[in-house]
Amino acid sequence: MADQRFEVRLTEGAEGDLKAIHTWLAEHRSEEDADTLLESFLEKVATLERFPSRGGIPKELGALGIREFRQILMSPYRLIYRVIGDTVFILVIADGRRDMQALLEHRLLNR
C-alpha cells in the first residue's frame, strides 16, 4: 500500500482558502512570509500522495459520528481532506483558531 500513489486535488474552496491566507499574510507581514507559508502548505499536501491515511479525524466531525474526513495539522492551520478511491480531495485549509465547528458544518455538511 505504501507504494501506491494517490492523486491530490485542491477543491475550489481549498484554493480560495490558500489565496486568502496568502493575501492576508502578504499584506500584514511580507510577501516572502506568504510565499514561504504557501510552499510549506504545498509540501504538506504532497505527503498525502503516499500516505493519505496519516491524518486524524477532525474532532468536530468525529463527535458527530462522521469519520470519512481527515486532517493534517500545520499549526495553527488545519488541512481537512477526504480520500475517495485513489484521489485525495483537500477541502478546507483554515486557521484552527476559527470557529471550526461552524466552518466544517457549512463547507462539508452543507448545513
Report the CATH number that the domain containing residue 70 is assigned in CATH: 3.30.2310.20
Q: At what angle do helices 12-28 and 31-46 cross, to 10 degrees?
A: 150
Low-confidence stretches of the chain (pLDDT < 50) are 1
- Assess contact for 6 and 83: CB atoms under 8 A: yes
User: Which pLDDT belongs to residue 111?
Assistant: 62
- pLDDT reported for residue 16: 95
Q: For residue 105, what pLDDT is reported? A: 80
Domain range for residue 56?
7-108
| Count of domains forming the chain | 1
Report pLDDT for 1.
47
Instruction: Give the pLDDT score at 20.
Output: 95
Q: Give the pLDDT confidence score for residue 2 in this predicted structure.
A: 52
The answer as to whether 2 is a domain residue is no
Cell readout for 66 is: 462522521
Helix or strand (DSSP H, E) at 92: strand 87-95
Instruction: Say what the pLDDT of residue 103 is.
Output: 85
Residue 1 lies in a domain: no
